[in-house]
Structure 1
Amino acid sequence: MYEVLIFWLVLLILCIGIEVLTLGLTTIWFAGGALVSIFANLLYAPIFVQIILFFVVSLVLLFFTRPVAVKYFNKDRVKTNVESMVGRQAIVTEEIDNLKAAGQVTVNGQEWTARSWDEKVKIPVGAIVTVRAVGGVKLIVECGGQSGGAAAQERPDGIKEQENQM
């Protein structure tokens, strides 16, 4: 009995320690499962019941409370430079022609290589465009500022539009 109790205590401390070091909101839920198993052990539950309780409680906590916790704790997360580009307006500084693999835009004073969302559309210098996606180091833009909705859409060349999360 004490060996199993010590195992659950070590697992609890290990999970909490890993969570403190990583802050990934993943191992803390297994610490909850270990805590429930400790109580089951103190109530003289058989080992198989303790193991089942550990996995059930851990998985329920992981799948049902982690998304809420991540949303709560990561609400102030700053988007990276590339993530923040989607949905922004840009000015074309070099004609965008996908067939010639040419085109540049300026966004927030930064020059970016750009390609048209619609493969067949050439976009002239001076046009105002909206960034629809980021493909590697290129911005995928659309003339006229049409957003096409918040859901991801796929182009014929396989580049997927990123959701615009504001």
Structure 2
Amino acid sequence: MEWLGNHLWAVWMVLAVGLGMAEMLSLDLVLLMLAVGAVVGALAALASFPVVLQVLLAGGGAAAMLTLVRPNLIAKLHNGPTLVTGHDKLVGHQGVVTEALSTQQPGRVKIGGEIWSAQPYDDSLTIPSGATVEVFAIRGATAFVHPVDEILP
């Protein structure tokens, strides 16, 4: 029993490792937060704090991890990057006008090596052939573009 009193930090570390290993089976991040609390308990034991204080510090550390850290980790894990597919991935790309375009007379634009029918995003514009444009939107098979030179910072 005297060994246990002198090596209580080792008991806390065994508990932390056991909780960490059990976390690999559950993947809820709850047991991992409890393992961090056990590490706090081990540090308290190494500092020769009384057992009651070790338990309180371990519980406080675990509670803090569960309330402050775990929700943020869960939110980050559940919100991955958005995958843009189809023609929406062309929005923001630049292209070159191959046929002059206006609202009354749609033209053609070469975007990413493909020719698209296009109209100006601003109804009052006429964009000449050879102008560099940026794709603002795509509706159906028509790209709505705006000249790059006229974009204000």
TM-score scaled to structure 1, two decimals? 0.43
> Which structure has the bigger radius of gyration?
2
TM-score (norm. length: structure 2): 0.46
Query: Higher helix proportion, which one?
Result: 2
